[in-house]
Amino acid sequence: MNSTEPVAVDSLYREDQFYVGVTVNLLLNKPKGVSQSGFSGGMHLGFIRDMPINKKRNVAIGLGLGYSLNVYNQNLFIDEEEGTGGSIFTALDGVDYNTNRFTIHLIEAPFELRWRTSTPQTHKFYRIYTGIKMGYMSAFNSNFKQRGNQVKQTKVDELNRWRVGTTFTFGWNTFNFHFYYSLNPLFNNNATIQGEPVGLNTVKIGLMFYIL
């Protein structure tokens, strides 16, 4: 005589509380002469507290904390003015160089409204998550290299270190497409090239992976 043990169902389950993501990073609203070159990418990881708000637990609010590393290869050169310590911004048109990139480290707090087709019995489901991501730029490095010369800048007063962006993630099971657009520019109005604001809004497009 065969017997089977009943499977316990967690009626108070939560979903997708750890995340790891990889993205391609783009710069929009660039001033004249500024362009991206080569590959620019990002790595993102963190924890989101999943808080279901309906009886089926397929609608939830997510609030979390994470870390984001982003690299932007482009031709915007940042130098320091002697005496004042102010920043000078120049587009490297016609200049021969090996490397010119920004490396940005962010501490982020995502806030999401989450919808999914999950049930207590399965962790494979469709999901749509959208929300706002607040961030603080904990470190910035501008690195310019050419033969016999290297210029690094880490203290740039014209940076908008507080970052605000919208996020949208959708997918099924393991693979989920992720989109981020910054609502405020990377540099404030004091950063200019020949009187034109440097600006630069960031866009991140890639894949997001979730773990319970």
Q: What is the pLDDT of residues 37-57, one digit of tens each?
A: 889 999 999 999 999 999 999
Contact 9, 165 (CB under 8 A): no
Q: ∠ CA(89), CA(92), CA(98), 5° rounding?
A: 120
Does any domain span residue 74? yes
Does any domain span residue 155? yes
Does any domain span residue 10? no
User: Nearest Cα to 36, choosing from 87, 81, 101?
Assistant: 101
pLDDT at residue 26 tops 90? yes
E-strand ranges in the chain read 18-28, 41-52, 59-73, 76-80, 87-91, 99-116, 126-146, 149-153, 162-172, 175-182, 192-193, 196-197, 201-211
Does any domain span residue 34? yes
Rounded Cα distance, 41 and 211, in Å: 22
User: Nearest Cα to 57, choosing from 127, 8, 132?
Assistant: 127
What domain range includes position 201? 18-45+67-110+127-211
Does any domain span residue 55? no
Rounded Cα distance, 8 and 143, in Å: 55
Does any domain span residue 3? no
Q: What is the pLDDT of residues 73-123, one digit of tens each?
A: 999 999 988 767 778 999 998 888 999 999 999 999 999 999 999 888 777
Could you tell me the CATH number of the domain that includes residue 75? 2.40.160
Burial classification of residue 133, based on how many CB atoms lie within 10 Å of its CB (0-12 exposed, 13-18 middle, 19 or more buried): buried
Does any domain span residue 182? yes
pTM score, whole prediction: 0.89
Q: Name the residue with tokens 């808080």.
A: 51
Q: What is the pLDDT of residues 126-171, one digit of tens each?
A: 999 999 999 999 999 999 999 989 999 999 999 999 999 999 999 9
Question: Any bridge partners for residue 61, and if so which?
Answer: 51, 113
Structure tokens at 170: 């959708």
pLDDT at residue 6 tops 80? no
Does any domain span residue 102? yes
The domain tally of the chain equals 1
Report the 10 Å Cβ neighbour count for 182. 21
Q: What is the DSSP string of 162-181?
A: EEEEEEEEEEETTEEEEEEE
Contact 15, 32 (CB under 8 A): no
